[in-house]
A = this chain, B = another copy of it.
Amino acid sequence: MGVIRLAVDAMGGDYAPGEIVAGAVQGARDLDLSLLLVGDPGAIQERLSDLQTEGLEFEIVPSQDVIRMEEHPAQAVRTRPGASINVACRLVLDGHADGVLSMGHTGAGMIAALLNFGRIPGVERPAALVPFLGLRQDLYLLDAGANTEVRPQHLLQFAHMGSAYAEYAAQIPHPRLALLSNGAESNKGNKIGQETYTLLAASNLNFVGNIEGHTLLSSDVNLVIADGFVGNIILKLAEGIAASLLDQAQEVVGKLPEASGELVTNHLDLLREKNNYAHYGASTLLGVQHPIFIGHGRSKATAVRNGMATAKRMIAGGVIDRIRQALAN
């Protein structure tokens, strides 16, 4: 595989295009990626003039407009082919890029991927994969919010897709997957969970059983499967708890001598950074025919850069081919 070419939606996100372009340039340099910046050429060019771009392989691809956070995504994606997310997707379809990164409207990104790329044969429901914050390395969650209603068969497909990701993008050999539930035993969970347990246990995946919330972080599980309703709730809750608890921990600093207080503050800042969902850059929509990565609307340059690292790992790992193979069997 040659240099990976990433189409970045420069117009999507609360801090677009400034932070997006800055992060994209940084990522292209750090990660040795070729960059297609999609958006308003004038605005992109203006931002680029402040940045070091010598030696970078990049191109600006004009788009007409952007789908904003408050818009109804399905209609906007269908009716505005010139929106930056649609232009970025077409760059992949036309063979100019290997994948898309957007910090814009999450729903619009997913719908654009579905409509432009289509689903991998056998996939009924694409699903969003994210690292489960920085609380534990090598722990991924699927589905992080794409599907609020699922059937057991969908969850089985999530498990196949997520296992392919964990093995070939995150490079975890024989990734261990678990089903999020309210009890460890196979008869725990809601009806859908119990049926899914049976399907997973009969699969060729490395299924280690149900996992509960309090053991998730201390476990050796690499992939936790949940529907997108629960997955989205727990991801955001983890973020909220981390923020709240680190603030409470920070209160001790007032009682410490200055030097110690500074060490504690730095340490807690590091934990804040690790556990900041935005920091992770991007979730990956698994189940569509080409790679797409969608980040938090509030992403700044670092998140964009980190999203590009995620994109590079998945593209380089050939995860989509692996998913095709897994679901063809």
User: B241 contacts A267, CB within 8 Å?
Assistant: no
Interface residues in A, total, Cβ within 8 A: 54
User: B214 contacts A239, CB within 8 Å?
Assistant: yes
Q: Across the interface, which residues of B come within 8 angstroms of A232, CB to CB?
A: 182-183, 212-213
Known contacts A245-B275, A249-B246; A214/B240 CB under 8 A:
yes
A216 within 8 A of B: yes
Name A244's contact: one of B135, B181, B229 (CB within 8 Å).
B135
Name A239's contact: one of B135, B213, B267 (CB within 8 Å).
B213
Known contacts A233-B230, A249-B268; A240/B216 CB under 8 A:
yes
A234 within 8 A of B: yes
Q: Across the interface, which residues of B come within 8 angstroms of A275, CB to CB?
A: 245
Name A216's contact: one of B135, B136, B182, B237 (CB within 8 Å).
B237
Which of the candidate stretches A20-28, A59-67, A160-168, A187-195 sits at the interface with the other chain? A187-195
Within 8 A of B (CB), among A266-288: 267-268, 271, 275, 277
A316 within 8 A of B: no
Name A148's contact: one of B190, B212, B238 (CB within 8 Å).
B190
Instruction: Provide the A125-143 mask, 1 if CB < 8 A to any CB of B, else 0.
Output: 0000000000110000000
Q: Across the interface, which residues of B come within 8 angstroms of A216, CB to CB?
A: 237, 240
A252 vs B241: C-alpha distance when bound (angstroms) = 20
Known contacts A214-B236, A257-B260; A245/B135 CB under 8 A:
yes
A218 within 8 A of B: yes
Name A241's contact: one of B135, B233, B251 (CB within 8 Å).
B135
List, sorted by A's number, 14 A–B pairs whose CB atoms are closer than 8 Å.
A135-B244, A148-B182, A183-B232, A212-B232, A213-B232, A214-B243, A216-B240, A217-B240, A234-B234, A237-B238, A238-B241, A249-B249, A251-B267, A260-B260
